[in-house]
Structure 1
Amino acid sequence: MNNTAGHPGARAPVIVTMADIVPGRDVAEVLGIARGSVVRARFFGRDFIAGLRNLVGGEVTEYTKLLAEAREQALGRLVAHAEEMGADAVVTFRFSTSSVMEGNAEILAYGTAVRLS
């Protein structure tokens, strides 16, 4: 999400919210579903360290970091898709996670792309 202040003719960044509305703005047009996804795989180094953590308990920080990076990437792709659609905002934004196959997870970011008045 780029800051376009001070660049003549540049679009304002897409607003992303989990709410049904953008406070103080009206929805002029619903453009459709915007989405962005990424499939991330574990790798042996993280699996080995995570296996050791399973023995002693606690947070598996290697996977926490992996999933946080994947969420940010999926969100970035959602924003890019919304921009391609000509949206000013994405409302009802959500994340979804699913297993594609053992060791792989899809992170999906989705919401309703809208133009604001």
Structure 2
Amino acid sequence: MLIVTTEQVSGYDISEVKGYVKGSTIQTKHIGRDITAGLKGIVGGEIKGYTEMMTEARNLAIDRMVQEAEEQGANAIIGMRMQTSTVMANAAEIIAYGTAVVIEKY
């Protein structure tokens, strides 16, 4: 599955637009990450536990978006975007979305 943030793919024609696709997940912090975050708040530096959590969440959201596109018969997603929002204390939603299309080399 080709995923691009652009509206076109160089060297390809869009032969069919399948439509909007998205994938999302809500992730929460756990006590181990909170303790590390508290310490990093004092001394500074990257909070690797949170970085790993958000990377996993982004990958899961993208995987879910791809699955939705494949179910529609698409072989590419154009105009892909990601968004993060806080849904409650200690929980963040990650959403990946774009337009599922069928592309063909010209």
Q: TM class, shorter-chain normalised?
A: over 0.9
Aligned to 2:101: 114
Aligned to 1:72: 59
How big is the shift at 1:88? Answer: 1.3
Q: Does 2:40 correspond to 1:40?
A: no
3-state DSSP class of the match of 1:78?
helix
3-state DSSP class of the match of 2:55?
helix
- How many Å separate the matches in 2 of 1:54 and 1:105? 19
Aligned to 2:88: 101
Relative contact order (C-alpha < 8 Å, sep 6+): which is higher? Answer: 2
> How big is the alpha-carbon RMSD for the aligned residues of Structure 1 and Structure 2?
0.8
3-state DSSP class of the match of 1:48?
helix
Identity of aligned residues (%): 44
> Any stretches of 5+ residues in structure 1 without a counterpart?
1-13
3-state DSSP class of the match of 1:20?
coil
- How many Å separate the matches in 2 of 1:18 and 1:116? 15
How big is the shift at 1:60? Answer: 1.1
Q: Does 2:14 correspond to 1:27?
A: yes
How big is the shift at 1:29? Answer: 1.5
TM-score, normalised by the number of residues in structure 1 = 0.85
Question: If each structure's strand is expressed as a fraction of its own residues, which one has the higher value?
Answer: 2
Aligned to 1:7: none
Instruction: Give aligned pairs, total.
Output: 104
> Any stretches of 5+ residues in structure 2 without a counterpart?
none
